[in-house]
A and B are shown apart, each in its own frame.
Chain A
Amino acid sequence: MLSKRIIPCLDVRDGKLTKGIKFKGNVDIGDPVEMAAFYYEQGADELVFYDITASSDARNIMIDVVRRVAETIFMPFSVGGGLRTVSDMYAVLAAGAEKVSVNSSAVQNPHIISEGARQFGSQCVVLGMDVLKVGASPATPSGYEMVIHGGRKRMGIDALAWAKEAQERGAGEICLNSIDADGTRTGYELALTRMISQAVSIPVIASGGAGVPQHLADVLTMGQADAALIASMTHYGDYTVAQIKQYLHDQGLPVRLYW
């Protein structure tokens, strides 16, 4: 049976981790490569790097980070943030990432999904969705709206319709982030996750809101997610990935326990 994936998300700016990550042991909390190795050893199933670097100069720093991560850990990881063209995608994949994640750029230019899927295969292209609960309206019949630029700009696009369109265009996976739940540590947005997961045939990674292991159990069962993204739960040392997995295993969920 396919295991449910637990995926730590690391925010990187100018080649450094942005959050003050509190770990025990000899881990340089600023170095994404060391953090990647740490999570790899802990049994994370995959990693997501989100590059919030603004300038194009600093993009080369990120490419170097990707290369060093790929030399250090032997499991899949994706890189997102600021990828606007197919050649941006190529640079990240050539440096060793398994997948690229497009978010704002895909909403503004949906062709990047189709082009990326055509050139690199659907399995490489993750659609990142930042979604705001707005209530049903003619423009947003699902009650959820797409937002971009880290949640600052509402696009008037229905989230459910966009998920389906992205799948049609060749996205191989969806990373679904609830703006409302993000950072609250009160649980994932279950209704949103279930709605999107049921509407598409590609895997859905739930993101935003995880605070305790029960939240992951909920989104992987009631929310019908295929994977769960975590950040502060493990970054601040409250839990280890292994503890979360043991909890999920005890709840009867399929997780990878041996690595």
Chain B
Amino acid sequence: MIAIINYEAGNLTSVQRALTHLGAASVITQDLAEIAQAERVIFPGVGAAGAAMNSLRRLGLDKALKEALASGKPVLGICLGTQIIFESSQEDLATCLGILPGQTVRFPVEHKDAGGQALKVPHMGWNKVRWQKEHPVFAGLPQEAEFYFVHSYHPAPARPADVLGLTEYGLVFASAVARGNLVAVQFHPEKSGRPGLRILQNFIAWDGKEGGHA
């Protein structure tokens, strides 16, 4: 059973639909016991960092997530779920979970591409991820694979070793990070067609070890 953590942030059913399509049983839950019993955990989210952190703390889900990570079970962060894994976010100046060192920062207000044309924020649409090293959750995906993004803030990890994938949008940012049994992505695998489904499928089969086989 996969626990999709419900901290009342955004569209969780799309993640569940994709898992159902792949034949994996999942439950959208804020029940701490259910999360503790789950084989693996998905930490999704759409919305604002401040409100998300408030909900997590009120529901005790911040502790449940840290316990899941400590237990060694595979954990996948998505979008806002990924952003609040870091120490803090410029959005709402929120203090976040601090599971990985680093910050979540906003794209610059005067954001321009190399040719000087203004770039829109949010970064919305399909963009490439350049993998920095091999990982079981990203097995079988080409360098040119594109994923669907929608966000105005992006992770800025402090430890280069945590960066798994990079994406360019006026600047280069970490769009996928990983450490131990945690993998977290800024894009939406559940909305990214076949490459996205491949990531979810790899995650479903993953044993939580970085060198493990998907």
List chain A positions with a Cβ less than 8 A from chain B: 1-5, 40, 45, 70-71, 74-76, 93-94, 96, 98, 120-123, 172-173, 198, 201-203, 224, 226-227, 256-259
Complexed CA–CA distance, A98 and B120 (Å): 19
A to B CB contacts below 8 Å, 29 in the list: A2-B125, A2-B126, A2-B149, A3-B126, A45-B126, A70-B13, A70-B14, A70-B17, A74-B190, A76-B148, A76-B150, A96-B13, A98-B191, A120-B10, A121-B10, A121-B46, A121-B48, A123-B124, A123-B150, A201-B118, A202-B121, A203-B122, A203-B124, A224-B117, A256-B146, A257-B144, A258-B145, A259-B194, A259-B195
Complexed CA–CA distance, A172 and B120 (Å): 10
Place the interface of chain B in its size category: 35 or more
Interchain CB contact under 8 A, B196 and A74: yes
Interchain CB contact under 8 A, B191 and A1: no
- Give residues of chain B (51-98) contacting chain A, Cβ–Cβ below 8 Å: none
Smallest Cβ-Cβ distance to A226: which chain B residue = B120
Q: Does B214 contact A (CB under 8 A)?
A: no
Complexed CA–CA distance, A144 and B46 (Å): 35
Contacts of A173 in B (CB 8 A): 124
Contacts of B17 in A (CB 8 A): 70-71, 74, 96
Interchain CB contact under 8 A, B127 and A172: no
Contacts of B124 in A (CB 8 A): 123, 172-173, 203, 226
Number of A-B contacts (CB under 8 A): 92
Contacts of B118 in A (CB 8 A): 198, 201
Complexed CA–CA distance, A257 and B120 (Å): 22
Interchain CB contact under 8 A, A76 and B122: no
Please give the distance in Å from B52's CB to the nearest CB on chain A.
Answer: 11
Q: Does B28 contact A (CB under 8 A)?
A: no
Q: Does B166 contact A (CB under 8 A)?
A: no
Complexed CA–CA distance, A4 and B125 (Å): 8
Please give the distance in Å from A36's CB to the nearest CB on chain B.
Answer: 12
Q: Does B31 contact A (CB under 8 A)?
A: no
Complexed CA–CA distance, A70 and B190 (Å): 11
Interface string of B118-150 (1 = CB under 8 A from A): 111111111110000000000000101110111
Contacts of A4 in B (CB 8 A): 125
Interchain CB contact under 8 A, B150 and A74: no
Interchain CB contact under 8 A, A3 and B192: no
Seed contacts A40-B193, A256-B126; 19 additional CB < 8 Å A-B pairs = A1-B168, A2-B127, A3-B126, A4-B125, A71-B21, A74-B190, A74-B193, A75-B193, A93-B11, A94-B13, A123-B124, A198-B118, A201-B121, A202-B121, A203-B120, A203-B122, A226-B124, A258-B146, A259-B146
Contacts of A1 in B (CB 8 A): 113, 127-128, 168-169
Q: Does B47 contact A (CB under 8 A)?
A: yes
Interchain CB contact under 8 A, A203 and B125: yes
Please give the distance in Å from B72's CB to the nearest CB on chain A.
Answer: 29
By Cβ-Cβ distance, the 8 closest A-B pairs, closest first, are A3-B126, A256-B126, A256-B146, A123-B150, A203-B120, A259-B193, A2-B127, A5-B125
Contacts of B146 in A (CB 8 A): 3, 256, 258-259
Interface string of B145-159 (1 = CB under 8 A from A): 110111000000000
Smallest Cβ-Cβ distance to A204: which chain B residue = B120
Known pairs A70-B17, A94-B13, A98-B11; A75 contacts B125 (CB<8 A): no
Q: Does B38 contact A (CB under 8 A)?
A: no
Smallest Cβ-Cβ distance to B80: which chain A residue = A121
Which of A93, A121, A226 meets B125, CB within 8 Å? Answer: A226
Complexed CA–CA distance, A71 and B14 (Å): 9
Contacts of B193 in A (CB 8 A): 40, 74-75, 259
